Every structure is written in structure tokens, then in C-alpha cells.
Structure 1
Amino acid sequence: MTNTNSTNMTHASGLDFEPIERKTMVMEITDRLLSYLLSGKIRPGAKLPAERQLSEAIGVGRSSLREALKALTVLGLLEVRHGDGTYLKRADSELLPRVIEWGLLLGEKRTMDLIEARQTIEVAVAKLAAVRRDEQQLLELKAIVDQLDTTGNTNSVFEAYTESDIAFHMKLAEIAGNTVLRDMLTSIRSLLRVWIKSVVASEGSTQFSYKEHLAVYQAIELGDAEAAARAMDAHMDSASSRLKLLIEEWNEEQ
């Protein structure tokens, strides 16, 4: 039954909203998977049922199910072990309350959009940090850069590097002094953690990334805003290209 009173009020007030679209199939499937993962029926580290079993239980095709599983994998909630199956990494991720809000689960296009948006934000942050930093902040930033100068290709090395990498970017946002930019980066910090670790682990080294961060620091130390922007842009190009390749590989394996 149509609510004519509500419709008339909308037109009478001069407000002209587009109708709200129904959620995509992938979003709906992901909603159900998230509910399942949070229900306690599957414990962190446990293997998910086979795709066929999940698709039959949810009542959807396997191709749509794979898209939803892929989105959760990119977000770091699931781990695909090739030849073995899909496992729940952890059920208490701080990502979970924000997953739907971000809209990343609409598919790969949104993920690519976020990569692009992050690059724009990071370049702006670096440029501001170069002109607003003080000596104490430089010392603190240098200490983080020194932590990035690591070698080795073990999981513990990659995890430690990832935390230092995030600390570097969050310190830059603090130095930049723009609360909006800082809050944007803070809101995707958990997602960045997944991305950064995935990239360095796939390369099997952290040195390429360390050199990129060092170039950003050196420009900020000189107070050269344009050089800082160029160095950060180059770093983001490098990181984004590697991440896109990873996503393409994940797509091909699905």
C-alpha cells in the first residue's frame, strides 16, 4: 500500500529525493555471511563450509557467493588457503561495525575507489606536514622511519613493519594538523593494516617500502611541500599498483 500522505508531504516541502535502491545481491549475501561469522557458530581460525554448502544454505548462486567471500577476504576477515579452503581470521575485528557503512562490499570498483581516495588524502597530508612540522615532530617521525628499516621475510617481521608503517602515516596526519584528513585515515586504519601487510608479504621484503617512506621523510625534514607531495604520490603509486595486482590475482583464483 502506497503512503500517499508521506509522498505528498515530500513534494509539498520542495524536497526531491531519489528513491532508495535495493541493496545489491553481493551486499545481501555479505550481510548474511557477517551474521553467520558473528553468531559464534564458527570460531576464529576455523574453516568455513564449502562454497556449495554455503550457496545452498543461503539460496544463491556460487558466483555471487564468491564475490561476497572475496570482499571479506580483501577486508582481512577471511583467509583463503589455496587447495584447502576459506578460514575465519578473527571475529572481533574493529572493521566489522564499519564494513557495511563503507560500502566496500559492493565489489571491486569500490575498493579501487578507496585506493584512489587514500592516495589523494595522503598526498595532501604530506604537503601540509612539510610546512607545519616542528623539530620535536621531526624527531618522532624519524624514530618511526628508523623502525621501518628492517630486513627479513617472516610473518613477525611483516606484522611489525605494518604497525610502523601505519604509525608513520598517522603521525603525518597528526603533524598536518587537519582533523578531517586525520579522521579519514583513522577510519580506514584497520583496512590499511590488511593492505600493507598483504603488499609487503607478497613482495617478500620491506626495503622497497622503507625507501619510499624515507624519501617522504627527507622532503618533510627540508620543509619542501612540493617534494613531499611528489614523494608521497610516488609511494602511493607503488603501493596501489602492488595492491591492484594482488586483487587481480585474487580475482583470477576465484
Structure 2
Amino acid sequence: MSYRFGTVESVRSDVKGKAPRVPEQPATDPSFRRLRPSAPVHRTVQEEIRSYVLTNKLQPGDPLKPEAELARQFGVSRSSVREAVKALESTGVLEIRKGSGTYVRDFSFAPLFDHLPYGLMVGTRVLRDLLVLRKALESAMADDAMAALRPETVDELRRVLAEMGERAARGEGYAVQDREFHRLLFVDLDNEMLLHLFDLFWQAFHRSSEAIPDHDLLAGYRSHEEIFDAMLSGDTERARDAIRRHYVDIEERLEA
């Protein structure tokens, strides 16, 4: 009798004339499908992981299956899964926590900003377009923002505005305070998407702001002060006008 590799039980089954027992394989999750990619494997795996997250309605903070399990379910190498996961991390879909695992990431425009073409990050034309978008959005939302402002947010706006004034008086820039001021104006709307979008505009604008001539820091501070006073007045048109004037001043400096 010829020798066969296998378990003791499988050899005994052969002796009795029965078909050898095939070792059971772990069950495959029906949410996955074996891949037969025509595109590069890691790109196909990326799309499948995206699909898996959406199909299973995974929420931010939910864990993804381990790398080895994903490789087995998809029928691909672990290196392909690893490359796909890293790509999805760079685009903001997943978050790799060292020593813990991979998780679905909360939404953010930051990865999108990091991958914008270089041509969109330089030049006065791009800055002008960004200003038009910011001005339109902020002025359009001014009425709702005024109605939603909470007393504690007003106090925070006063604090940030005071810091801005102090720095301007010393001849120091106040980019951090500027960013926080505009965020606080709309934070009480409880619209995370809107805040992310405003922040994306702010980042893109300030990364490219070297194209803007130096400005009068005190004049910039007073422009923010006018917006604050107008928002507290409850007068929608006054608030919108203050926002428009704030951005028109920057547009004029771009034309200089």
C-alpha cells in the first residue's frame, strides 16, 4: 500500500475503503468575496474594504478584521492587504492604531486636503476662488449662526478676539486665533460637515497665503471685531455685510 500524507484518521478511512476526510476550513464571511482582480491587487482590495465598511454599516471607531483574516477572506497575500489598508488610512477611511488594530476613521477633510494637486495650492487665482467660496458660505449661514449662538460661545469669541487684539498690538500674527474665531461663529449650528468644510478652506487659504501682501494687523483685528459686534446685534444684513467687507479687504490685497 502506498504511503499518503494526512492525519491518522484519514489513513484509516482509506484502509476501510472510505473517502478520506478533508480537514474543515474556517467559514468564509459572506460579506467578503474571493478576488480575481484585473487591476493591481492592492487597489482591488481597497475597493472591497470600502464596500465591506459600507455594506456592514461600520461606524467611526469600529474595528476592522485583522490583516491575516482579511487576506484569507479575500484570497490574497497579507502584503496586498497591508498596502490597501495603508492607502485607505492616507485617504481618511481607516485609522491604524499601533498595538491595537485598524479602525474606521471619523470623517475629516484633512486627507483630501493633503492629496490636493499642487496646482490647487498656489497662485492668486486659487486664493481668490477660495475667498469667494468662504464669503458666500459664511454670509449665507450668518442668520442661522446668530440664532444658534450660545452664551458660552459668545464668551469664547470675546476671549479669542481679545487675544487677537493683543497680538496685533504687538505686531504679531494671529492665524491660530483667526481660525478659532471663524470656527466659533458657526460651531453652535452643530453641523460637523460645515465646520470641516470651513476648516478645509482655511487650511488651503493659509497654506497659500504667501501670495498675499502683508496687511495691517490692527485693521484685520478690527474687521473681526465688526463681525462679532454685528453677530451680537441680531441684524442679519449687518452681519452679512461685515463678513463681506472682511473678505473684500483680502480680495483687494490680492489684486495689489
- TM-score after normalising by structure 1: 0.49
Q: Higher helix share goes to which structure?
A: 1
**Which of structures 1 and 2 has the larger relative contact order (alpha carbons within 8 angstroms, sep 6+)?**
1
